Structure 1
């Protein structure tokens, strides 16, 4: 308890179970991958990114102070995928508004779903709408100009797909074919990237077809600005080395990034190697990598230009091949009309910025927009993005590792000037921390709107589950380790009527186990202590268990091991009920008021601990517990995480709890679940 008001003898600074407790930044930005503006939020957006990002942002608000955390995201409005989707809807007669109205409609629907899941986002902006769009255009222009003035851009003339029947250039999703990257499992390759994010030159796309006319397009030369990503190989290698030393880095992310740092290579089928040998003198110098158990042989080149020259020679000789992952110049501009205008550099006019690069710095634009709304100084954003005391946490899906990994980090480094460091100095853009999740599968298959069994939309799930049940379940899946199947019984045509619903396991921890523990404490206080908490010392073993749980929870949250967080809390919350059941019956049988008091005080301390720790995961129910405890917002403050419940009471002897009516639930079940039970 307090030895003076407002200062606990168990403060977080004074208590030190271990010397290896994680250190958190003074300020934090949390971002969630931006959904495209052509549709509502789907399963992967909510279950794979937003719930995880929101949980971490809420934890940081408790841990370092809510004034020190900004959570930003928004609708990714521009680009050919949205333009093409919009065109099809208009041609089909299902939408008759402008593209701005189309994006605005979807942006509002996305925001409504986020609100339904209580995603406590500081700003959910849109790159093409309102004040955020104005700021984003300026930030985009400044970004391109800085990379240009620092010498990291170059003009490259490439062949672009052209539909001769309609007399138009084709962009992005207006061309479909087969990805040329070796080993790619994507079902669709587009103009210069596939559905899994692999980059390649348009000319390498296999069997291209125009989505506008259905005809095979021809290639015509266009010139664009490219970021010289391949020149940042050594700096990105240093950055990856830093990731490898960070125990919180996810191994599959490091592996995936490392694949793009491999030297330029070409995969040739083994049965083609005789032809390759016959033209060997015409090819640039290469090393041969031949693993006998593989169906292809690898030709490894010293640089990208040599590989490109080899590709042309192989193609001329009718040799089938695929290129390997490596760093290639990253296109910044294009000729898509629906895009952020590119600044005019040299003689390059009438270009727009490709959607992928501008979406990478959009969170900076949104941060500026939010801070402007808060009446902050125009340079206040630098305290969040350019300070060693701050950290940016970016929550993304595995498909986007290439863009948020090598590309974003290199571009941020490129803003430093001609002298580049993988450890940016104070005042320069710092490198964000990537928190990447694997896919949320639907019924053990990758969720796709083209599947025979359609995955439910994010809002449809709320017709069968509460948002807290879903938050707890998605966090438990362990997406930081592997792709995991989401198998909601109401949407599973193969589910047995007698089987339990896998989605409800974590929800039942809240609605059954935790509910029971909290209600037991309140009803006992009302029955025996006039609705007050009897003042007594919390047992030393209960204090110790709580402290160890808090320290472990903090460590797991730092590593973003959300599934282990849920496992830890499952054990701790169940232990509350085990403790209660073990002793409360004995106190009732013996009419032992001292034992009853001990059980209530100890159990309430465990409830206090569990409530604070579950606050980022189940915000509605835990806020209700705090309300019924009749305590203020300081209850969540991690500077006082080891305090007992009495430390938050003005007058512990006379502090009264809010009266809990019979059958009131802190964590509700969905009405459909109650109907099923009845």
Structure 2
């Protein structure tokens, strides 16, 4: 079997939580645990010096500004917005640590040295887009609250999303809660959150990235994705929707009114299906569709637009933001939060490397080299931004005629690992929605971090949205019901724990705490090697739920092997068989510990501690070797004594005597 090839260097990113809240279920269960597991795997697989795992607090943007304004107005926060963001940043760092999320750097886009570097990177990034001819200056209408005497930022306007078929509960100025973008004038029933009044529209001028001109390159990129092992099909489908031609949906009961203006409309093709309530007007280009929108709106014809590539706004006039560079005399603007958060991982990489005393241009070895790869873990709501928008902007950095295959020395295109929604009690959980999920902090009142890590990896978010149904927080659960969250956790605290303890207690009783140095049985060796190779393939394809299935089978087989063979040795008082069983079982435990190390780092590190072995124990360069090969003097190497009733994988105190 041909083994997968991993890069020489890797950057792993895990989205960026907003700086107005602590971490919730989706942050940890939907993104950070998966990213951390993969980062830990790569550290073992290619060497920890070749892996940088970064993320940070997304400090800017109108959602944070609006939330801060409301808290101050309600007397719930007393301090500056900088202090507000810093407070939440520290809480986020604390929770990540509690979940054993081991980042090289968790920074903040407005905090400390990372903020200074991020401002430089942001200015350089936009200037290069401009120099390469990929920006356009556009004057558009923006919401203005006449009563409050101010322009409204993105979250100070609420209404309904105009995108056809959108299920979002709330639309904001130019994007809805599901990430659909549209022109502000298209928002349905807008209201100002400041006064509750309908705002008026006033013209503002901003810089936009010509995303719509990257249709051909993005189509080529999607075709390449189709051939990637393990790339999630639902992501391709989601991206493909934005590559569709510009369309307008008009209800069939509006067709007579549409006929009355069709002579004034740009050229379009009308598509009508019997079982649909709307007809589709397809246009050759975005400009034609926007002209048609204006005409339909003027005639009070109701319509909705479909997803397509539109110019991607880079700047705005929200005071709380990264300052935009002064280009063509357009001064006093800030950068919209979404664009700058897409290149923030570059800023954080530069910050980390500076902390490590590396040369100024070392970041290019990680982001601009074909020997390196960037893995971005995100939730499905953000596919548009990290997909079409980011990939096109990264390609645009190459020059006036970019390629979908960037040359050495130019920004390479990151790999996207997208998870579906993690639901709470089978309903979409959102900190801004009606269904309030538990915070990541609250979950630790009921489960250990390793139980939760194993569960979140095992539910299969790469395939579908999955309901998180913790028994203690589920009002519909009865006393007799088992806790679904503990299925994977019990593999650790019950099954694996029992296997490891059995090996240690038996070797202490019969062999003075020394692992017998023997040739490993052929079948045991073969099973271990096959499991290692299959695990490696599944990790390469980001199939974390299948990794958990594989490890469930392997760890349970350790106990089956032990129960059958140690009983035979005991029944016959066969010390030679006992020593062979111990040698084989310790090889199985060693294999399972290395493979579970990225998933359950605390418990597996404890195994290494009791084996009295060094960090090289985790290295995949020696993954197939038996445990005694790591000992300087195997015959005399005595394990750390394991006291009675000591657990390598612990249960939460609330679970003791309840299962």
Question: In the alignment, which residue of structure 1 is the partner of 2:179?
Answer: 197
Measure, in 2, the Cα distance between the counterparts of 1:84 and 1:635: 50
SS of the counterpart of 2:489?
Answer: helix
Shift of 1:498: 1.4
Residues 598-677 of structure 1: pairs in structure 2 closer than 5 A: 598-674=580-656, 676=658
Distance, in Å, in 2 between the alignment partners of 1:375 and 1:256 is 41
Is residue 274 of structure 2 the alignment partner of residue 264 of structure 1?
no
- Is 1:153–2:143 an aligned residue pair? no
Bigger CA drift: 595-604 or 517-526?
Answer: 595-604
**Match status 1:287 vs 2:269:** yes
1:227-264 deviation per Cα after TM superposition (whole angstroms, max 9, x unaligned): 00000110101111110110221100111001000010
Of stretches 374-383 and 648-657 in structure 1, the one that deviates more from structure 2 is: 648-657
- 1:13 matched residue in structure 2: none
User: 3-state SS of the aligned residue for 1:160?
Assistant: strand
Spell out, residue by residue over 1:133-160, the C-alpha distance to the aligned partner (whole angstroms, 9 max, x if none).
0000000000010000101001000000
Deviation at 1:494, TM superposition (A): 1.2
Q: Which residue of 1 aligns with 2:30?
A: 48
Contact persistence 2:24–2:431 (CA under 8 A): no
> How many Å apart are 1:434 and its aligned residue?
0.4
Cα contact 2:428–2:435 (8 A) shared by 1: no
SS in 2 for 1:30: strand
Whether 2:426 is the aligned partner of 1:444: answer yes
- Aligned-partner SS, 2:231: coil
Of 67, 75, 98 in structure 2, the residue corresponding to residue 116 of structure 1 is 98
- The TM-score normalised by the length of structure 2 is 0.99
| Distance across 2 between alignment mates of 1:254 and 1:334 | 30
Look up the match of 1:532: 514
- Aligned partners of 1:412 and 1:571: how far apart in 2? 42
- SS in structure 2 at match of 1:676: coil
Q: Distance in 2 between matches of 1:124 and 1:238?
A: 34
1:479-531, CA deviations, whole angstroms, 9 ceiling, x for partnerless residues?
01111000011111111011111111111100000011001111110011010
1:375-386 mapped onto 2 (5 Å cutoff) = 375-386=357-368
- Displacement of 1:448: 3.0
- Identify which of 561, 564, 567 aligns with 2:543: 561
Q: Pairwise mapping of residues 62-461 of structure 1 onto structure 2 (< 5 A)?
A: 62-449=44-431, 454-461=436-443
Q: Deviations over 1:310-356 (max 9, x none)?
A: 11111122211100000000000000000000000012010000000
In 1, Cα distance between the equivalents of 2:443 and 2:183?
A: 40
The Cα RMSD (Å) is 0.9
Using a 3 Å threshold, how does the CA distance of structure 1 residues 453 and 279 change in structure 2: closer, same or farther? closer
Q: 2:565 aligns with which of 583, 601, 615?
A: 583
Q: CA deviation at 1:597?
A: 1.4
Out of 49-58 and 243-252, give the one that drifted further.
Answer: 243-252
3-state SS, counterpart of residue 263 of structure 2: helix
Residue 605 of structure 1: CA displacement? 0.7
Question: What is the TM-score with the length of structure 1 in the denominator?
Answer: 0.96
Deviation string 1:169-212 (CA, Å, 9 cap, x unpaired) is 01110000000001000000000000000000000000000011
Gaps of 5+ in 1: 1-17
Q: Distance in 2 between matches of 1:454 and 1:328?
A: 33
**SS class of match (1:347):** coil
Structure 2: how far apart are the matches of 1:454 and 1:414? Answer: 40
Q: Give the C-alpha shift of residue 274 in structure 1.
A: 2.5
Following TM superposition, by how much is the alpha carbon of 1:291 offset from its aligned partner in structure 2, in angstroms?
A: 2.1
Question: SS of the residue aligned with 2:656?
Answer: helix
> Separation in 2 of the partners of 1:448 and 1:623?
34
Query: 2:20 aligns to what?
Result: 38
Distance 2:375 2:272 in 1: 41
TM-aligned CA distance change 1:185 to 1:99, over 3 Å: same
Aligned mates of 1:349, 1:548 — CA distance in 2: 62
Give how far 1:296 is off: 1.3
Deviation at 1:450, TM superposition (A): 6.1
Please report how far the alpha carbon of residue 453 of structure 1 lies from its aligned counterpart in structure 2 after TM superposition: 5.9
Q: Pick the aligned partner of 1:506 from 474, 488, 500.
A: 488
Following the alignment from structure 1 to structure 2, what is the Cα–Cα distance between the partners of residues 648 and 130? 43
Q: Distance in 1 between matches of 2:435 and 2:246?
A: 40
* Structure 2 Cα separation of the partners of residues 524 and 474 of structure 1: 34
Inter-partner Cα distance in structure 2 for 1:278 and 1:247: 52
- Deviations for 1:29-50, whole angstroms, at most 9, x for unmatched residues? 0000100000100110000000
**The 10-residue stretch of structure 1 (90-99 or 277-286) with the greater mean CA deviation from structure 2:** 277-286
> 1:675, CA displacement in angstroms?
5.2
Judge which range, 196-205 or 291-300, deviates more.
291-300
Answer yes or no: is 1:476 the counterpart of 2:440.
no
> How many residues get paired?
659
1:53-106 residue CA offsets vs partner (Å, 9 max, x unmatched): 000000000000000000000000001100000000000001110000000000
- Cα distance in 2, alignment partners of residues 646 and 526 from structure 1: 16
Is 2:239–2:384's contact at 8 Å kept on the other side of the alignment? yes
Deviation at 1:649, TM superposition (A): 1.1
Q: Which SS does the other structure have where 2:218 is aligned?
A: helix
